[in-house]
Amino acid sequence: MKNYTILFIFFIGFISCENSTSQHQNEYKKLFNFRKLKNSEKKMYYNKSEILYNQLLGRSNFNGGILIAKNGEIVYEKYNGYSNSKTKEPINSNTTFHIASVSKTFTAMAILRLWEQHKLNISDSLQQFFPSLPYHNITVKDLLSHRSGLPNYLYFSDTAFKKNSRVTNNDVLNYMIYAQPSLYAKPNKIFHYCNTNYVLLALIIEKTTGISYPKYIKDSIFNPIGMKNSFVFGIKDTNNYSPSYGYNNQPFNLENIDCIYGDKNIYSTVQELLLWDKALYNNSIVSEDTYKIATETCSNERKSNHNYGLGWRLLISKSDKKVYHNGWWHGNNAVFVRLIKDTATIITLGNKYNRSIYTTAKMANIFSTSKNEEDLEE
C-alpha cells in the first residue's frame, strides 16, 4: 500500500510539474510567437513606408539600406547606391556597414549576459578589473549607463597617440592610467555620453572571459543567431578596410583610432540586425527580466522624454517607449529602433554621410501606437 501511495504522489507531482512547464511554454509563445501578418497588412505597411521613404530619403542622395519589420516580418526593404564608389559595386542585402554606436547595444548585452552567468557583477568597481586605474567609485553599471564621468578618449586622442599608429583599447586604458586626464563629472552624478565607457567594457569582457572581444561577440552572439556576415573590425582587418564617404563622395581614410572597439567597429547588414532584434525578443542573449532592466531609465536628474538605460537610448511617450540607438562614424550613419508595443523595427544603414538617415525613425508613424514627431537623439 505504501508503494502505491508513493507512486500516486509521484504521479500527481509529475502532472503538476508538466502542467506548470506547459503553462510556462504557452506564456513564452504568447509573448514571442508573433502573429503572422495578412497580405493586406503587408501591402498597407509597404505603401505607407514607400511614401515616407520618398519624403525622408528619396531626395537626399541616400547611399545605403533600409528595412522595416513588423512582427518579425519584413514589410519594407530598399537598397540604394554603391558599397564602393570606385568599383561601382551596388549595395544589396549582403552589404556590411559600419554600424558605429549601435555597436554599444552588443557590448552592453554581452556584459549583461556575463552578469546573468555570475561571471561579473554590474556593481563591481573598475579597480576589480583595472587595479591601477586612478578613477575610483565607478562601477560597471556606471559605464553601461554613461554615468561614469570619465573623459571621452575621442577628445584627447589627437594629442595622446601618434598619427601613424594603430591605437588599441589597451592603449586608451594605459594612457588614462599614466596621464590621468581630468574627469568630466563626479561618478554617477549626471549622464555624459562617453565612448571611453564602452572601450573599457570591451576590455572587461576580455578580462572576464579570457577571449578577445571580437571572438567573444562572434561566438556568443553572431554565430548562435545566424549573423554570418557580421564581424568586429580590428587591426587584423586593416588590409581589407572598406571606406565610407563624405558629402563630396571623398573616402575617409583609416585613422589611428579606427581599430578601437566596444564603442563602435561592428559591421553588419540590415537583415542581420533584424536577426539581432528577433534574438532580443526571443531572449536568446539575455533573459526578459535582464532586458527590462537594460531598458529602464538611469538618468532622472531632469525631466525629459529622452533617457538612457544600459546600452540603449530611450524615448518615452504616453503611448509608447522607443528603445533605440543611433550611430555615426566617419561617413557611416546608423539607425536601429525597436517599437516595443507595435513589435516593429526600423533599421537604416548608410556609408555616405547623410543626416537625413536619422529622420527615418519617423517611419514609426506607420504603426498604430507610435505617433510621435519628436526626434530621436543622434
pLDDT, tens digit (0-9, with 9 covering 90-100), for 48-81: 999 999 999 998 999 999 999 999 999 999 999 9
pLDDT of residue 11: 36
pLDDT of residue 283: 95
19-28, 66-75, 185-194, 244-253: least confidently modelled range: 19-28
Rounded CA separation 113/184 (Å) = 29
Please say whether the beta carbons of 17 and 25 come within 8 A: no
Please say whether the beta carbons of 214 and 205 come within 8 A: no
- Backbone torsions φ then ψ of 28, nearest 5 degrees: -60, -45
pLDDT of residue 242: 84
* Band of residue 16 on the pLDDT scale cut at 50, 70, 90: very low
Helix axes 169-179, 195-209, angle to 10 degrees: 110
On the question of pLDDT at 199 being above 90, the answer is: yes
69-83, 193-207, 316-330, 362-376: least confidently modelled range: 362-376
| Average pLDDT of every residue of the chain | 89
For residue 146, the one-letter residue type is H
pLDDT of residue 301: 86
Please say whether the beta carbons of 180 and 134 come within 8 A: yes
Domains of the chain by range and CATH?
39-366 (3.40.710.10)
Instruction: List the one residue out of 49, 47, 45 whose CA is nearest residue 363.
Output: 49
For residue 338, the one-letter residue type is R
* Band of residue 8 on the pLDDT scale cut at 50, 70, 90: very low
Contact partners, residue 28, CB within 8 Å, separation at least 6 = none
* Band of residue 369 on the pLDDT scale cut at 50, 70, 90: low
CB atoms inside a 10 Å sphere around CB 134: 11
Please say whether the beta carbons of 315 and 327 come within 8 A: no
pLDDT tens, position by position, 155-170: 999 999 999 899 999 9
pLDDT of residue 26: 34
Q: Which residue has the higher pLDDT, 238 or 281?
A: 281
pLDDT of residue 3: 43
On the question of pLDDT at 25 being above 60, the answer is: no
Please say whether the beta carbons of 376 and 315 come within 8 A: yes
* Band of residue 18 on the pLDDT scale cut at 50, 70, 90: very low
